[in-house]
Amino acid sequence: MSMYAAITSDHLRNLLEDSREGLGGNGWAAKTGEFLDQMRSPELSERLKAIRENRDYAEAYKEARAAEAVSQFKDDQERRIREIERAYQEKLEAVRDGAKPRRLAANPADSEARLGNARADARMMLDSVPPEQVISHMAQLAQGDDEAMAHLLLATSWPTHYLASRRVTSNPSTGGTWEQVKAPLLSRVYDPQAAGALERLTRLERFKGLGDDLRHILASWQPGRV
């Protein structure tokens, strides 16, 4: 396989190992590992070698049998990819359903109004803060008495967009990213079960684009090369 595909394969293996405890069931992770193992297996290469070394076969027949074996292997692997994609998406949606914060208000319109006010307040308070202090100030705001502010900072994507606009990636004094800093604060807006689901969701989302990665590995594969 190509250098990029080999790197992608190793990266996926490392992600699977690092995230093993938080990926949950339904088999998609195990199937991904099996797919990667198949891509490195010498079984097909040995089968092709046996076909090409068989003196009872004419050359044209050897080539036809070899092409058939390769085509069948690729078809089987594509079927595995579709199964992995389906199982992964089902797991992602199930975990996402459980990773929701407590309601800010009973009425969604009221919630959005309060979040809108919190966005305006947060921007007003953070815009004058030096970039190297933004993350620590966000943490202070998240721990304050304003429930809407806590929801904004801990349960929406607003902080990610704001930090990108300020070109802030981590806290210089600690090296911590916002994701790391906010993790101990999630109980302010998430029940324990939902907080656990959110952690699993974060691990699962590291595998977005999994099907495309596997197809790239398959497309770059050549018999006899791993």
Same domain, yes or no: 147 and 72: no
* Number of domains making up the chain: 2
> Which residue positions in the chain have pLDDT lower than 70?
1-4, 18-26, 223-226
pLDDT number for residue 113: 96
Residue type, 133: Q
Alpha carbon distance 213, 71 (integer Å): 20
Q: Based on the fold, state whether residues 94 and 9 are members of the same structural domain.
A: yes
Rounded CA-CA distance 201/191 in Å is 15
Contact 192, 15 (CB under 8 A): no
Question: Do 214 and 184 lie in a common domain?
Answer: no
Helices then strands, each counted (H, E), the chain: 11, 0
Domain range for 156 is: 108-189
Cα–Cα dist 26/196, whole Å: 18
Map residue 222 onto helix, strand or coil. Answer: strand
> Tell me, what's the pLDDT at 136?
93
- 167 & 83 share domain: no
> How does DSSP classify residue 225?
B
| Cα 40 off chain centre by | 23
What is the chain's mean pLDDT, rounded? 88
pLDDT at residue 226, rounded to an integer? 43
128 belongs to a structural domain: yes
Would residue 225 count as lying in a domain? no
- For position 155, what pLDDT does the model report? 93
**For position 161, what pLDDT does the model report?**
96
In a domain, 121, yes or no: yes
Residue 17's pLDDT is 79
